[in-house]
Amino acid sequence: MTRGTAHRAAAMSVMGGALILLALLVLPVAALVWRGGAEGVRQLGSDGELQHALLLTAAAATSATLVVMLLGTPLAYLLARNRMPGGSIVAALVELPLIIPHPVAGIALLLVFGRGTPMGAALARAGLGIVGSPLGIGLAMLFVSAPLYVSAAREAIARVEPRYEDVARTLGDTPWRAVRRVTLPLAKRGLFAAAVVMWARSVSEFGAIVILTYNPKVASVLSYDRFTAFGLDAALPVAAVLVLLALVPLLVLRSLRSEARATTSAP
Partner 1 sequence: MTVAGRDTLVVFEAASLAAPMRAALDTFVRRTAAVVAEEHGGSLELARRITELHRIPDVIALADHEVFPQLLVPAHASWYADFARNRMVVAYTDRSKYAGEITAANWYDVIQRDDVLLGRADPVIAPVGYRALLLFTLAERHYRRPALAAVLEARTPPRLLRGTAAELAALLAAGELDYIIDYESLARAQGLRFLSLPPEIDLGDSALDSTYARASVRVARGRDSVTVRGAPIMYGLTVPREAPHAGVGLRFVQFLLGPDGRAILRAGQVDALDVPVLRGDSIPSVLRERTVPE
Partner 2 sequence: MIALDGVTAHSGDFALRDVSVAIAAGEWGIVLGPAGSGKTTLLETIAGVRRTSAGRVRLRGQDVTTLAPELRRVGIVYQHGYLFPHLSVEENVGYAADARAHVREVSERLGVDPLFDRPVASLSGGERQLVAVARALAPAPDILLLDEPFAALDPRRRVRLRVELQRMHRERGMTVLHVTHDFTEAGTLGDIAVVLEAGRVIQVAAPSVLFRKPATAAVADFLGADNVFAGQVTRSAASGMSELDTLLFEGDGIRLTGVGTHGGGQGHAVIRGEDVVLARQHSMPSSARNVLEGTVAEVAPQGVLARVTVAMGAATLVAVVTDASVRELGLARGVAVVASVKATAVHVC
**Which CA distances in Å does 18 have to 9, 103, 105, 143, 254?**
14, 33, 33, 32, 21
Q: How far is the CB of 57 from partner 1 (least distance, A)?
A: 16
Report how far residue 76's alpha carbon sits from residue 146's, in angstroms, rounded to the nearest whole number.
11
Task: State the angle between helix axes of 3-46 and 232-263 in degrees (0 to 180), rounded to the nearest 10.
Answer: 120
- Which of 68, 76, 110, 198 touches partner 1 (CB under 8 A)? 110
Task: Give the separation between CA 76 and CA 151, rounded to whole angstroms.
Answer: 7
**What x-and-dash track marks residues 157-196 binding partner 2 by CB under 8 A?**
----x-xx-xxxxxxxxxx------x--xx----------
Choose the one of partner 1, partner 2, none that binds residue 267, judging by a C-beta under 5 to 8 angstroms depending on kind. partner 2
By C-alpha distance, which of 29, 7, 39, 1 is closest to 231? 39
Residues between 135 and 174 with contacts to partner 1, criterion CB under 8 A: none
Select the span of 66-74, 79-87, 179-187, 229-237 touching partner 1 (CB under 8 A). 229-237
Nearer to partner 2, 161 or 233 (CB): 161
23 binds, among partner 1, partner 2, none (CB under 5 to 8 A by kind): none
Q: Using CA atoms in the order 239, 244, 247, 249, what is the torsion angle rounded to 10 degrees?
A: -90
* Member of 225, 238, 239, 260 binding partner 1 (CB under 8 A): 225
- Cα dihedral angle (54, 59, 65, 71), rounded to 10 degrees? -160
Candidates 17-25, 141-149, 244-252, 257-265: pick the segment binding partner 2 (CB under 8 A). 257-265
Q: Please, are residues 237 and 43 in contact by the beta-carbon 8 Å criterion?
A: yes
Site for partner 1, rule CB under 8 A: 107, 110-111, 114-116, 131-133, 210-211, 213-216, 225, 227-232, 234
